Every structure is written in C-alpha cells, then in structure tokens.
Amino acid sequence: RESRVRLGVSTTGATRLYADGRVLVDEQLGDPSQPFAAGVSSADLRVHGPVDVVVRQELDPRTMSFGLMMIALGTQPADTDIDSLIDEAAAVAAESDVAVVVVGTTAQTESEGSDRTTLALPGARDALVRAVAGANPRTVVVVNSGAPVLMPWRDDVAALLLTWFGGQEYGHALADVLLGRHEPGGRLPTTWPAEESDVPVLSTTPTDGVMQYREGIHIGYRAWLKSAVPPAYWFGYGLGYTTWALSDLRVSAPRPDGAVDLTVAVHNTGSRAGKQVVQVYLSRSDSAVDRPVRWLAGFATATAEAGETHHSAVMVPARAFAHWDDGWQTEAGTFTLHVGTSVVDLPLNAEITIDA
C-alpha cells in the first residue's frame, strides 16, 4: 500500500538526507556559530514498504559542542491537516466523560544552550486545548514542560496539571495522579505569567557584550512582587485533592546562633488524605538596606488524613535574616514572619525582633 510520508532531519552543519539512495535534503542546517541552534529540513516521499535512510554530514569543529554532534530524524504523514486533527479531537472529546489533553514543549523549543524566543506553547497546541475544552467542559490539561509557558485558556478548563519532564515511568505516574491514586503534591518553584509582556525581565540580550543585572536582588518571584503585576500563578502555588486550613502559629525566641523555630497547625479540612507544603517568608518594612518585598525563609511538608491536624515545624536559619555587604550582615530590628501556602497566600503572621 502506498503512502505519502514527510521525512525530516534536525542537526547543525552541512547535511545530506537520503532515502533509498535519493537525495531529499542537501543544505546547511542551523547556525554554525551556535552549536545548539539546530536547523530542520524535510521532504515528502512516497513509500511502499521499508526505506533505507542515510544521513551524511560534514563534521566541523565549529558546529560541534564538547566534541558531540546531534542528529534527530522524524516522520509524519505528508498530508497532515492540523485543523482536521483538531476537529477530530474535539469530536472525540464531545462524546467522552472526561477529556485529557497533554501539551508541552520539546527539546527543539526548550533546552540548555539556547534561549526561547517566546513563552507560548509551540505549534497549534493552544488551538487544540481551546477546541477540546469548547467541546467538553470536563477537560483536564496536562502541561509537560520544563519552564513556565503561557496558558491563555487556563480559565476555560476544568483542571490543570503541571508534570514537568518525566522519565520512562512518566506514563504510569501520570495515570496514578489523574486517577487519584496519588496526590499531586508539588508546588511551583517559578512564577507563571499571564502575559509575556508582564514578565519583569523579558530580555537578557547583552549590549556591546555586556549584560547589566540592574534588577539586583529582585529576581524571580521577588521581581514579580516588586512589579505588583499579578501573574497567572504565583511562586509556591499548588493544589491537591483535598483542602487545608492553617492556624496556631507559634514562634520561639531566637536561638543563640540566631535561628528561629516556629510551629503551625495544618488541618486537613477535606474528605481524603493529602499533602501540603507550609511556606515561611520574611519581610522588613523599615530596613535601611534594599530588600525584597518578601523572601522565602523556609518550608516544610505536611501529610494528614481527612479531618486530621498535623503540626509542622520550620527552622528559619540566621542567614535568612541577613543581607550582603562585603560579607553577611544582620540588621537589628523587627522582621515579620509570614506563613502560608504561596508567596501571596499568607494567612498567618508574627513579628520577631532580631539583634545585630
């Protein structure tokens, strides 16, 4: 049976791609000055059975990184119609009890050695999510990426699960979480923007070979707090399969080494066992030095059965109160301890006085 197939190659350097001895690709791929900036080229061919595929490449030290050369081959039906595939997915979703859509990035769009040009998901992934969610209100979107991406449809889906990049058992782990056998207990170690233009530091391109870090200590979630622009999801945010209430914050006097101990009651108010991450932040309103609005000082995990209360203990090290001035210095005065479940969800607060 004859079929039309698109055969492609991704690499860096002078490349020839052969199929059954016929040249399909003969060109310079990627940017020789950027070893990780691979290029992609493809061609269509008609196949009736097995095909002998050969890649020939001129090895050039300029296109190699650490003595390595990377080549990737891929195929897809030549007559692929993305719109038709999305329509088909939406039709299947409409007939399903629950729709699960897995979207994300790949090594071609997100990897070490190169910068992303956009935070948007590649290809037609956003269109796929919108179509499926429009067909079935019980749509769960699984985001498989290694860093923040834009999710303009986030308020139109029933649930959103961030899985990062999984290993060989990723499929089994994902099934266990989706079916409720395990708790999705992670919390965001990054801030996820609602719009790309909201990112406090969007460009990291050096000028005349110099990169100025004018933001100083206000990086990551600290930059978002200073900008006062709300993101889609704050640092530390995350939900599971139950609900929680924090209470009874107790703070001890500083230890001789300057560390501070605190405890908090973590009550599982839901109907099943779960896991929560108690987060402690510090702030200083009357500081004589430049400080973040708030900064992470410690955290602890708590697991509890339905209706159970767990008492979590967190030790805030002396370093958390210090600032850098040709060495770690401690500014005497009053700090505020904020306890909660993200950098902005902080229902419990207490003040403590620290000596220099």
Residue 328's contacts (CB-CB under 8 Å, 6 or more residues apart) are 319, 322
Taking only the tens place, the pLDDT of each residue in 29-44 is 887 666 566 788 999 9
Q: Please, where in the chain does CATH 2.60.120.260 lie? A: 3-77
The mean pLDDT value for 264-270 works out to 98
Distance (Å, rounded) from C-alpha 190 to C-alpha 187?
A: 9
The answer to whether residues 275 and 240 touch, using CB atoms and an 8 Å cutoff, is yes
Contact 44, 78 (CB under 8 A): yes
Segments of the chain assigned to CATH 2.60.40.10: 244-354
CB burial of residue 69 (10 Å; 0-12, 13-18, 19+): middle
Question: What does the pLDDT read at residue 308?
Answer: 98
What 3-state DSSP class applies to 101? strand
pLDDT score recorded for residue 66: 59
- In CATH, what number does 244-354 get? 2.60.40.10
pLDDT digits (tens, 9 = 90+) for 51-86: 999 999 887 766 565 566 778 898 888 777 899 999
Name the pTM for this structure. Answer: 0.86
Q: Is the pLDDT higher at 243 or at 34?
A: 243
Is pLDDT at 111 greater than 90 in this prediction?
no
Give CATH superfamily name and number for 3-77. Answer: Galactose-binding domain-like (2.60.120.260)
- How far is it, in rounded angstroms, from Cα 251 to Cα 261? 6
Residue 244: name the closest of 216, 214, 222, 274 by CA.
Answer: 274
Q: Where in the chain is the domain with CATH 3.40.50.1700?
A: 82-227
State both tokens at 186. Answer: 């992670």
CATH fold of 82-227 reads: Rossmann fold (3.40.50)
